[in-house]
Amino acid sequence: MICDDNSVTGLISSTYPHIDHHQDDQYYLDHTILSGKNSDVEDINSVVLQRCAGEEKILQSADSIVSDDGNPNGLGLYSMEYLNSLRASSLLSRPIP
């Protein structure tokens, strides 16, 4: 793919040229922007979501932990504030847009 503009906006426009029109879900699965830094991913996602057609919905996550073995020891080891501050590539950020 050739990106005419060496910027995040140019990359998004090249990858999703018709982002202001609803696309099939498979289109977004086939056209993905990758980055090595989670902070860059969050910035790109923010710009993409602002340009997407449709109404934004914010989904709430659960703030509770259930022990698989029924042992409650250690469940309160980490505060919700700490857990919500973690930025792992396999976890969605809060709130979930």
Domain boundaries, the chain: 8-85
List, for residues 33-48, the tens digit of each pLDDT value: 888 888 888 888 888 8
What six digits make up the tokens of 40?
A: 């860059």
Q: To which residue do tokens 């934004």 refer?
A: 56
What are residue 46's phi and psi, to 5 degrees?
-60, -45
pTM check: above 0.85: no
Residue 64 DSSP code: -
Residue range 76-91, pLDDT digits in tens:
777 778 877 777 665 5
Residue-wise DSSP of 9-60: HHHHHHH-TTTTS---HHHHHHS----S-HHHHHHHHHHHHHHSSS----BP
Q: 35 and 67 in contact (C-beta within 8 Å)? A: no
